Amino acid sequence: DTEVTQTPKHLVMGMTNKKSLKCEQHMGHRAMYWYKQKAKKPPELMFVYSYEKLSINESVPSRFSPECPNSSLLNLHLHALQPEDSALYLCASSKTSTYNEQFFGPGTRLTVL
Amino acid sequence: AQTVTQSQPEMSVQEAETVTLSCTYDTSESDYYLFWYKQPPSRQMILVIRQEAYKQQNATENRFSVNFQKAAKSFSLKISDSQLGDAAMYFCAYRSGDAGGTSYGKLTFGQGTILTVHP
């Protein structure tokens, strides 16, 4: 299994809603990443988890709250988002944070109304 | 800080022809890795090819090959015998060798090149 899965595929939420994005991998990877990507732009790193510990937070606003309950699962909790937060949210994983290759999931397309 | 520059926002190629996508980077590190990722319109990012900076030999994966010029800090991607399925946005990316263990595999991406393949 060389797949990173993300749910939901699409999400529409209001600015007062609370929602969560989910990312799962069963490759035994111990590093997991959240990226935000605007249309026709490169991904921007948001968070890195290494061995279930938050290792990098790229100064992301607190309305985004990551969680890594176990080595296979990564969540991104969303609360009080702004319309400018509408984007594609990509999850990726890597064997370890020092390993070469990151495997990306298909992403969740988020629209904030 | 490292930077990655892709100077070609868009490129096009005829099916079966060869196209080269450019990438330059800036770093003061001696140990690093370079990647080309492909993101088709379906949006899943896929690794195309990787190059370790310490390796002099250019990486090759089937129809994809790179021209890695370390002194010039250049890392171009050549796609031979282009196919319709090669149409995508291509990102060049840099990762530190991270001897200090602080970058946690962080990728620095270029702005991307949209490749169109004409039948």
The per-residue pLDDT for B2 is 87
Cross-chain Cβ contact B45/A88 below 8 Å:
no
Closest to A44 measured CA to CA, from B107, B34, B44: B107
- Mean per-residue pLDDT, B73-100: 92
Task: Write the pLDDT tens digit of every residue in B4-56.
Answer: 999 999 999 999 999 999 999 999 988 899 999 999 987 789 999 999 999 98
Mean confidence (pLDDT) of chain A: 93
Q: Which of A45, A88, A102 sits opposite B43 (nearest CB)?
A: A88
Cross-chain Cβ contact B89/A104 below 8 Å:
no
The per-residue pLDDT for B50 is 94
**pLDDT cut 90: percent of chain A above it:** 87
The per-residue pLDDT for B100 is 61
Cβ contacts below 8 Å, chain A against chain B, sum to: 58
The per-residue pLDDT for B98 is 74
Closest to B114 measured CA to CA, from B75, B95, B94, B86: B86
**pLDDT cut 70: percent of chain B above it:** 97
DSSP B52: E
- Mean per-residue pLDDT, A29-45: 95
Rounded CA-CA distance B53/B41 in Å is 30
- Mean per-residue pLDDT, A18-46: 95
Task: Write the pLDDT tens digit of every residue in A67-79.
Answer: 999 999 999 999 9
